[in-house]
Structure 1
Amino acid sequence: MDQKTPTSQPSPAENKPRWGGRWKLFAVIAVCAAPMIASYLTYYVIKPQSRNNYGELLDPRDYPVPELGSTALDGKPLTLDAYQGKWLMLQADGGACPKTCQDKLFEMRQLRLMQGKEMERIERVWLITDDQPLPTMVMREYDGTRLLRVKPELLKAWLPTEAGTSAADHIYLIDPRGHLMMRFPKDADPSKVKKDLSKLLRASAIG
């Protein structure tokens, strides 16, 4: 009667180098992912009482970015996802852009410039809430601001406001993963907004 040759099994000595290599790979992945995980935990999970933010932190789970029916000025579809990977300073206002609108455009431009070498991590976005033509001088003065026309009823349901204000009174901040995460008060103090932005950029390994 023929006897079957037993299947050979790797010896513990042979398994050791294989598992050693895997642990090294896991360690490299962990080291690379650690800054990103730490940034996420710092701003969305760990909220120490000593933190002193000027802008109001928003829980991104409460304000997922909806479909806004947004388009570029030429009418072609364009969404905020096009700028994912950057920090977005966001304002919403009508195309006529009165003085309050222009003030926010000015503040966003200056706040970005004040970040120095970190400024490339930030984009400025104006969500235009109607079909009015934009003033030529405003477009020239604030060239570089990303312009998207949106459906105002969809926008209103998304952006949270302070009591007695509208979305047009605020500047908002979206993180590089596309989460709405901060709202600055009406007539915000630019120096305090700058401090918040600087803290976020220093602490974050993303964007």
Structure 2
Amino acid sequence: MSSEPLNLSVHSLPDPSQVNAAQLRSGRLRMLLVLAACAAPVIASYFTFYVIKPQGRAYGELIVPTVDLPAQLSLRDLAGQPVSVESLKGQWLLTLVQNADCNKVCEDLLFMQRQLREMMGKERDKVDKLLLIADDAPLRPELQQALTTGIPVTILRAPRAQLDAFLKAGAGQGLNDHLFIIDPMGRWMWRSPVQPDPSKVKGDLNRLLKANAGWDKPGR
């Protein structure tokens, strides 16, 4: 048996605080990379539409910067029940602001709104029709029936003052004169001219949907 003493090597253990800090930094970096990957299509699509602007100028007026749906917007359905602002998100909204009496000009805009959605073809499932009533008067029964036949219009009431603070009319015009487009994230981003041309509105809407194809999905 050897008489040489037995030598033992002692290795230091890693500092737990240093290990946790390294893991935390790594986790944060991975999270930032995931967020960047998710945001990239949205950023790229808006850059393409607003900066590069393919296929020439827009027919309507682009709203830059976009305006978010106000969280405090007091929405009610025709039965007087409150409706959440969040419920409007998830679809492109072809939006009209009108009074309950709805004259001939109003009826023409509602017809155009209906036709526009149908003109979108296979993309129409991404688009909803929204009518915001700015007073408390009752809708005519025949108008209400027409608006709820087929693919119904979402009809909600909201105070005129709140709508005026959210959507803006063109110079010398009223909200009733325009068609507005609100994107699926709840941002007002486009306003039509007075007496809009449906085919030209369709062109702008097609460009919007194409620019956002990376993140916009059919169905709410």
TM class, shorter-length: 0.7 to 0.9
Name the CA shift for 1:34/1:102 in 2 (closer, same or farther; >3 Å): same
CA pair 33-79 structure 1, distance change in 2 beyond 3 A: same
Superposition map of 1:145-164 within 5 A: 145-164=153-172
Q: Which has the larger radius of gyration?
A: 2
Tell me which residue corresponds to 1:126.
131
Whether the aligned pair in 1 keeps the contact of 2:48 and 2:54 (CA below 8 Å) is no
Aligned residue for 1:110?
115
Shift of 1:138: 1.6
Q: CA deviation at 1:96?
A: 1.1
User: Which stretch of the first structure deviates more once superposed, 104-113 or 64-73?
Assistant: 64-73
Aligned pairs for 1:65-76 (under 5 A) are: 65-66=69-70, 67-76=72-81
Count of residue pairs brought into register by the alignment = 194
Q: CA 1:124 to 1:24, structure 2 compared with 1: closer, same or farther past 3 Å?
A: same
Contact 1:109 1:142 in 2 (8 A): no
Structure 1 residues 70 and 31: alpha-carbon distance in aligned structure 2, compared to 1, 3 A threshold: closer
Q: Point out where structure 2 has 5 or more consecutive residues left out of the alignment.
A: 1-7, 16-27
Q: CA deviation at 1:81?
A: 2.2
* 8 A contact 1:60–1:180 mirrored in 2: no
Q: Contact 2:73–2:85 at 8 Å: present in 1 too? A: no
Tell me the distance in 1 between the aligned counterparts of 2:170 and 2:98: 16
Distance in 1 (CA, whole Å) between partners of 2:65 and 2:94 is 15
1:194 aligns with 2:202: yes
User: SS of the counterpart of 1:124?
Assistant: strand
What is the aligned-residue identity percentage? 38
TM, length-normalised to structure 2:
0.77
- Contact residue 75 and residue 84 of structure 2 kept, 8 A: yes
TM-score, normalised via structure 1 length: 0.81
CA distance in 2, matches of 1:142, 1:96: 14
Q: More deviation in 65-74 or 35-44?
A: 35-44
1:16-61 CA distance string (max 9 Å, x none): xxxxxx99998787666543332233345x3559741001000245
Query: Could you say what secondary structure the match of 1:90 adopts?
Result: strand
What corresponds to 2:191 in structure 1? 183
Give 1:131's aligned amino acid: D
